Amino acid sequence: MESEKLALYVVIFVGVWQYIGFYMIIFLANLQMIDRGLYEAARIDGGGDWQLFRYITLPLLKPALTLVVLMCIVMGFQMFTLVLIMTGGGPAASTQVAALYAYKQAFGLAYYEYGNAIAFALLIIIFVVAFVPTKVFKL
């Protein structure tokens, strides 16, 4: 019972650890593009650290933040390989994701139509999740 809960947390930890360096590079590249003159002007006008972060850094990091959040959501749906290698969906299907379920239905149980339908539904969900934020944030 306890191993079921722990298995999910371990898979989540490994998934975060796998991509955290990539996300840091995106943020660092975006941070380096921010003009230092903006910070100097804000300091002269009496801005504190929190105000500089809130009114300069955060708005200028919005595209990178949106990209990273979008990539996290899409990669969260595509955790097939990691879950298959680490747990195979177990124990007691506690770490089973939609892509792994579709794979097991199609190739494990020979329900090809059902597995294909699940994979297509997953494709539509990922498309909607990826398309809506890009239109809302106008990327």
pLDDT of 53 = 94
**CB neighbours of residue 45 within 10 Å:** 8
pLDDT of 1 = 56
C-alpha distances in Å from residue 39, one per residue of 59, 60, 65, 71, 111: 13, 12, 20, 29, 60
Rg of the chain (C-alpha set): 21
The full DSSP string for 76-136 is HHT-HHHHHHHTTT-STTTT--HHHHHHIIIIIS--HHHHHHHHHHHHHHHHHHHHHHHHH
Q: What is the mean pLDDT of each run of 10 residues along the chain (139 residues)?
A: 79 88 94 93 92 93 87 81 84 84 90 92 86 72
Q: For each of the domains in the chain, give its residue range(s) and CATH number, in order of start.
A: 2-136 (1.10.3720.10)
pLDDT of 128 = 86
pLDDT of 54 = 94
